[in-house]
């Protein structure tokens, strides 16, 4: 008995047709935190011109993961986080924003001691001033500044 086995038909698969759907989401928390993220779903449908094709010739691939960015918003505007430093004048502690100059501090809400500027020096009253500083200098965090007095600053 003769048995003839024919060859499998030849063919080729073409690049699968794809459909990509982006799924962006934006949420705003009660505190004003905005979270934006995106993921995508990609449908895949391969095309085969001839030959044997197993079951499952089409499907959908979901790509999990997202690129998320969060910003804090107050009254409709983005604000940076401000670092607060502490320092001492004489025996009393004060606060300032990191990088603030003495002149900026005197004009700010952080000046709770009634300091003022005369001729580039920082005074607590007409006879006493912060020793060794000028209004254009940056306040140093965790530093203790002395007080000098008895007349005008040198």
C-alpha span between 114 and 124 (Å, rounded): 6
Q: Which residues pair with 24 in a beta bridge?
A: 38
Write out the H or E segment, with its range, that includes residue 34.
strand 33-48
Q: What are the pLDDT digits (tens) for 92-130?
A: 999 999 999 999 999 999 999 999 999 999 999 888 999
Q: What are the pLDDT digits (tens) for 46-87?
A: 555 555 555 555 555 555 555 555 555 555 555 567 899 999
Alpha-helical segments (H) within the chain: 102-106
pTM over cut 0.75: no
φ/ψ of residue 103, rounded to 5: -60, -40
């Amino acid at each position: 008995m003769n048995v003839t086995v024919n060859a499998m038909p030849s063919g080729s698969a073409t690049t699968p047709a794809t459909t990509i759907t982006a799924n962006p989401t934006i949420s705003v928390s009660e505190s004003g935190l905005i979270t934006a993220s995106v993921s995508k779903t990609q449908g895949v449908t391969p095309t085969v011109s001839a030959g044997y094709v197993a079951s499952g010739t089409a499907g959908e691939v979901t790509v999990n993961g997202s690129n998320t960015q969060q910003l804090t918003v107050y009254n409709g505007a983005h604000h940076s986080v401000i670092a607060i430093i502490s320092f001492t004048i004489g025996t009393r502690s004060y606060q300032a924003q990191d990088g603030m100059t003495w002149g900026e501090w005197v004009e700010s809400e952080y000046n709770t001691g009634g300091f003022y500027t005369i001729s580039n020096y920082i005074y607590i009253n007409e006879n006493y001033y912060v020793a060794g500083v000028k209004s254009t200098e940056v306040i140093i965090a965790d530093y203790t500044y002395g007080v000098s007095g008895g007349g005008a600053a040198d």
